[in-house]
Structure 1
Amino acid sequence: MPPTPDATAPGAAVPDRGRADACPGALRLHTADDGGLARVRLPGGLLTDRQAIALAEASQALGDGELETTSRGNVQLRGLASDCGAELAERLRAVGLLPSDTHERVRNIVASPLAGLDAVGHVDVQAWVRELDARLCASDWAAGLSGKFLFALDDGRGDVAALDADVTLIAASGGAASGSGASGSGATASATSGGATSGGPAVLRLGRATHGHPVEAGQEVTAVLDAARAFLDALRGSGRKAWHLREVPDLLPTGSVPLPATSAVAAPVGALPGGLSVGMRFGRASAAQWRALVAASAGELRLTPWRGAVLPGAPADRLPALAAAGFRTEPGSAWERATACTGLPGCAKSLADVRADAARALETRTATGTGAGTGGLPVHWSGCERRCGHPAGRWVDVIATGHGYRVTVNGPTTTAGAPVDVRYEEMAEAVAEARRTTN
């Protein structure tokens, strides 16, 4: 079974880490009720057209014909036969999606998906992504990281810095990193309103620390790798077990630089200054839809941690074809910031077909203007107490009970009232009310 998701509320009990994590990978398949599941790491969510087509073809030839994006911008294939592992690996290697057999599960890197496309961020962090991935795969010690350990590379706008990564590198105003170009001179309020920055090109945050460490120009990726290695060294020295830095915050030194404010807000769907952005319902898209993405792209796709895709350089006149293919292309939908776990029939632990139930609630809002509500807090449907795939920060927690759903606001600093138990037909209205809770 997959590892137990982490508790997110401050002071919550740390899960038992006395065993190796069981995160699936491209070579380590997880057996689910609907067949094998493979998770392919995509650092920064980056895909070439050729790689995207290869994934679509693999899903049709080996799996259920659909691809599933994750909250880390990775992609999953489901419904795989138990004996397809070798063929899947061969297909991935052929297009550069499996550069290291020993490190494939630790290539967990999220990056600001709009970096370099507008005038908001300070640095085009894609150069950081590629350098970090290459050096991570070349470092023997890095294979000892958990398959859940997460790196975040934020261009200064504060989006992926809010995703609760283990090691976060945030570009600061005042200079671009060596080997990467500044994406513009503008700065968002979210990137600057939180106080002073390092005065240099970047600041490094460890776990959930409230202060960071200044990073010298040209040393950005080195600082990220040094922090991850220091975490492993400190664990060995202490004899303690952990998958994440936030589980052992006392093992590494606290920084001195106040961190900028962050906000895990997805890129808006539609036409953007530097390309197009589309949303996928619950992160799932068929092979045919993936081919439509490739047809609309200008050679590159960036999967986002919010289960969408950014197409750099793609012209606005390709949006109608993407909408016709089933992607979300217009803002204001009830589907914005709405996610769900796999649920039945794919997961035996689930108490409901949560995606079908969630879709009905969201479509109620779309059709009538009432119900599951747009805007406000993100909402996540779960089939059991594990809450797989839930968002970072605060969110509306909708969990199956076997007789209906329990709706509440979850996450740190929540001030919501008692959970509300609702029947299926009452769920849409209860979710809409909870989403209107002050963010």
Structure 2
Amino acid sequence: MWSPRGRSAPDACPGTRRVHAAADGNLARVRVPGGRLHADQLDALAAATTELADGALELTSRGNVQLRGLRAGAERELAARLYAAGLLPSESHERVRNVIASVLSGRVGGGLVDVRALVDALDEGLCADPALGGLPGRFLFTIDDGRGDVTGFGADVGLLAVPGGAVAVLLAGTDTGVRVSPPEAASTALLAARLFLAESTAQHSTAWRLAELDDGVPRVTARLRAALDPALLVPPGDLTIPEAPTRAPVGPVAQVDGRVALALVVPLGRLTGAQLAALTAAAGTGSDEINITPWRTVVVPDLSTGEAERRLATLAAEGLVADAAAGWVGVTGCAGQPGCAKALANVRTDATLVHASASPGAGDLPVHWVGCERRCGRPADRHVEVLASIEGYQVSLDGRPRPRSATLEETAAAIAAARRGK
């Protein structure tokens, strides 16, 4: 059986200069560390996809964005536009800027540290180190403010704020016993990434993720602990680590400063031109910031109560979802046909027919639709999988498949049962 430990080549994860050739044209992925965009950056992305690609913007499971249907040879112009917008600070490092951070950190209660400055420090340090440009495009950092919302993504290098003012360093979701102050956290995470590269070199490995190395976690942990002041070390394993990410908020969210953030589900993670324009306009009435999340939602923070009510009506009219009981909450999918040549079904169309008018119950599990066994974009947490085959869809929960559904009605019934854990 194939194992990721047997990878024979570096990863081919797309960026903006090295694109992926899909059935519907080239695909470019733009990294957005921490998911934070300014309104003018979103506007630049909207213009780029309108003029160079298919007119929409896709959200990924790591809080990044991508353009599909990019015309051949348009990579250079896209890169120039992204550089001008501040979205491409380093061409040599653009594929490795994979950073997921706690949503609305510093704006909502429950967090122990406002991690926004930490995200910036990590990204700047990453781009400043030529060696770290050699990280695989799948290598992932998470920065969790202590609420546990993103630690469960199982990053290669994770930072988790803990009581007492310290930040714990995790490797592949495992406690290393390293505790640093917030100002030291970014540099320590970067050190851990360098030690991953050192261990990869020692093993002559082309592993994409730290856990794919032979004994990767203990070996890189030992390297990290040996490189640090013993005063920063505690016995590993005394920390309760979230096993899965928490669900993203949906709807109006009260901020600690009295303002409101609007958290909106993007159906199947695809933002249309009209939705992009509405989001940019909404952000302009707040702090000019928009957050992209790995749950394929968007958050517009820092709105007054009245402005939030007005903007919510406009955004909902464009098809963005702020109702936690709506059928699109927790539903994601891959590109499917016709964009992907390997897909066996038009999963977006079929998912729309099943979910657009559905009403999930409280606590229902997320659902992810996939067009083939590569399972692109699958969530990190427990979810129901809907897998296309030539004989219909197969619904599975916890790796246990149900009989294939020949019709969408049968698929919908199987999904409804599986979402309740039945």
Q: Same fold (TM over 0.5)?
A: yes
Aligned-pair CA distance for 1:214: 1.8
Aligned-pair CA distance for 1:373: 5.9
Q: Structure 1: which 4+ aligned runs deviate by more than 4 Å?
A: none
Residues in 1 aligned to 2:132 and 2:330: alpha-carbon distance in whole angstroms: 33
Secondary structure at 1:266's aligned position in 2? coil
Secondary structure at 1:365's aligned position in 2? coil
Cα pair 1:115 1:155 within 8 Å, conserved = yes
- 1:2-401 to structure 2, matched below 5 A, reads 13-14=3-4, 16-175=6-165, 201-209=166-174, 212-248=177-213, 249=216, 250-253=218-221, 256-262=236-242, 263-274=244-255, 275-297=261-283, 298=286, 299-315=288-304, 316-317=308-309, 318-366=311-359, 375-401=363-389
Residues in 2 aligned to 1:85 and 1:403: alpha-carbon distance in whole angstroms: 38
Cα pair 1:365 1:373 within 8 Å, conserved = no
CA 282–229 in structure 1, closer or farther in 2 if over 3 Å, else same? same
Secondary structure at 1:103's aligned position in 2? helix
CA 359–258 in structure 1, closer or farther in 2 if over 3 Å, else same? farther
Cα pair 2:168 2:175 within 8 Å, conserved = no
Residue 405 (structure 1) aligned with residue 393 (structure 2): yes
CA 374–360 in structure 1, closer or farther in 2 if over 3 Å, else same? farther
Q: Superposition RMSD on alpha carbons, in Å?
A: 1.8
Q: Which residue of 2 aligns with 1:185?
A: none
CA 382–314 in structure 1, closer or farther in 2 if over 3 Å, else same? same
CA displacement 1:360-380 (0-9 Å, x = unmatched) = 1113524xxxxx766422111
Residues in 2 aligned to 1:325 and 1:27: alpha-carbon distance in whole angstroms: 32
Report the TM-score, using the length of structure 1 for normalisation: 0.86
CA 78–15 in structure 1, closer or farther in 2 if over 3 Å, else same? farther
Cα pair 1:278 1:329 within 8 Å, conserved = yes
Secondary structure at 2:37's aligned position in 1? strand
Q: Give the letter for the 2:189 counterpart.
A: V
- Decide which moves more: 217-226 or 105-114: 217-226
Residues in 2 aligned to 1:141 and 1:96: alpha-carbon distance in whole angstroms: 22
CA 419–213 in structure 1, closer or farther in 2 if over 3 Å, else same? farther
Aligned-pair CA distance for 1:265: 2.3
Residues in 1 aligned to 2:4 and 2:22: alpha-carbon distance in whole angstroms: 26
Residue 428 (structure 1) aligned with residue 409 (structure 2): no
CA 18–343 in structure 1, closer or farther in 2 if over 3 Å, else same? same
Cα pair 1:36 1:82 within 8 Å, conserved = yes
Q: How many residues align?
A: 393
Q: Give the letter for the 1:136 counterpart.
A: L
Residue 419 (structure 1) aligned with residue 414 (structure 2): no
Aligned-pair CA distance for 1:128: 0.6
Residues in 2 aligned to 1:379 and 1:15: alpha-carbon distance in whole angstroms: 28
Structure in which a larger fraction of residues adopt helix: 2
Cα pair 1:208 1:246 within 8 Å, conserved = no
Cα pair 1:379 1:395 within 8 Å, conserved = yes
Q: Give the letter for the 1:234 counterpart.
A: E
Q: Give the letter for the 1:280 counterpart.
A: V
CA 403–432 in structure 1, closer or farther in 2 if over 3 Å, else same? same
* Structure 1 spans left out of the alignment, 5+ residues: 1-10, 176-200, 367-371
Cα pair 2:395 2:401 within 8 Å, conserved = no
CA 350–15 in structure 1, closer or farther in 2 if over 3 Å, else same? farther
Residues in 1 aligned to 2:150 and 2:199: alpha-carbon distance in whole angstroms: 26
